[in-house]
Chains A and B, each alone.
Chain A
Amino acid sequence: MTPTPIPDHIAAVERPCPALLKYYIFKAVVTNIAAPVTMLVLYFRYHTMRYRFDTEGIHMKWGVIMRHEIMLNYSRIQDIQLRSNFVERLLGLARIEIQTASSTAGSEMILEGLTDHTAMRDFLYSRMRGARHAHETAAPVSDSLAGILTEIAGELRAIRQRLEQRNA
């Protein structure tokens, strides 16, 4: 089965939107004394964050000193959470937290700084396991096998009937 192609608006997402940097500045200011350090970390996180959505899954990487790279298969997604606090909503942002079946208490992947987060959430939902019924893809295969066997039986019956006529 060939994998269904990724919609253009999803494949186009590569970098977080600039509003995320504003949110990071707010986040750093809130930390008070630690603000310079937090800002530095978040600044580099924002500038190095890259997304790639292909037919199999999501690739996400960030970091300069500590490099992080996460690859996650769509079919392994357990549940999707869309979260947003007041400040994020003011900036038009939301986080998409994706859980897989691993044993970390937090989320395995957090997609930040997406302009159209509901479209992304709906896309991920359409690719996760169980969003479509199993028989939608499985049905034609079994039907065709039974169909071919029935046709073979029909052909054999015709040959037998012709043999019977000739012998009679």
Chain B
Amino acid sequence: MPDAHAQNFIESWVLRILRVPPRPEPPDGSPDSMKTFRAGENYYSWCLLIWALSNVFILGVLIALHFLMIRALRRAPDWVHVLRDIVEVAAWIGFAASVIITFTAQRLNYALRWYMVTDRSLRIRSGIFELQELTMTFSNIQEIRVTAGPLQNLMKLADVEVQSAGGSADSHGSASGHTGRFAGVSNANEIRDLIVDRLRQYRDSGLGESHVAAPSGPGPEIEAARAVLAEVRALGAQV
């Protein structure tokens, strides 16, 4: 396991408190075909970037509110000012606590991601507070989608999504079920090729035509039936 996923003392303590089970069990399938992918190393930077941007936004809102309140309550009595101070201090403490908690959560969110692929199915585990473990067989996969935004492209990251049938997903295709997301992987093409290759083994995949139209060459039954026919003809010539 790469060092990037190793946990320090505080993180393993948090995981114990939150009762997060260790790595998931691989799905049934031949053990040789099992491949486990993890989120790319840049995914952590990506998560931190998103985290920083959203916190800067919240900080901006808090500062704006502070000045707006001062202006709006200029002529208010003293007790309103005291109340405003209390609310503001509470808001700042809340903000500071959420910054610390969400910062740790980013790190764990990155470290606790497993994308397992066997010859028959895949299993995706993610989440800390709300744990999710998705299992999907290849014969139910309808489409594979690789997406990467401009920033993700810069960081050489991409999301691979596999979808099963059904589910009225929104325009981004992010319905709660029906979609397996290999979020923030650095080897999206390798994963895509692997899934496409595994899908090839299931000719009757998805909801399409479930019978292969005609066998390409004569099967063993046809060969045997021809041999019977030849024998019967030879027999007829003898009688």
In whole angstroms, how far apart are the Cα atoms of A25 and B64 in the complex?
Answer: 40
Q: Are B180 and A149 in contact (CB under 8 A)?
A: no
Asked whether any CB of chain B lies closer than 8 Å to the CB of A4, the reply is: no
In whole angstroms, how far apart are the Cα atoms of A150 and B228 in the complex?
Answer: 7
- Chain A residues 109-130 with CB under 8 Å of chain B are 118, 121-122, 125-126, 128-130
Q: Are B235 and A160 in contact (CB under 8 A)?
A: yes
Report if A81-B132 is in contact (Cβ < 8 Å); known contacts: A90-B19, A106-B177, A125-B121: yes
Q: How many residues of B contact A (CB 8 A)?
A: 49
Asked whether any CB of chain A lies closer than 8 Å to the CB of B239, the reply is: yes
Asked whether any CB of chain B lies closer than 8 Å to the CB of A2, the reply is: no
Q: Which of A83, A102, A129, A143 contacts B220 (CB 8 A)?
A: A143
Chain A minimum-CB-distance residue to B165: A101
Asked whether any CB of chain B lies closer than 8 Å to the CB of A31, the reply is: no
Q: Which of A102, A106, A126, A132 contacts B176 (CB 8 A)?
A: A106
Interface residues of A, Cβ cutoff 8 Å to B: 77-86, 89-90, 94, 97, 99-107, 118, 121-122, 125-126, 128-134, 142-143, 145-150, 152-153, 156-157, 159-160, 163-164, 167
30 CB contacts below 8 A, A to B, read: A78-B136, A78-B178, A81-B132, A82-B134, A83-B133, A85-B130, A86-B18, A89-B20, A90-B19, A99-B166, A99-B178, A101-B166, A103-B166, A103-B168, A104-B166, A105-B175, A125-B135, A128-B137, A128-B140, A130-B121, A130-B137, A130-B202, A131-B28, A133-B120, A146-B219, A150-B224, A156-B232, A160-B238, A163-B235, A163-B239
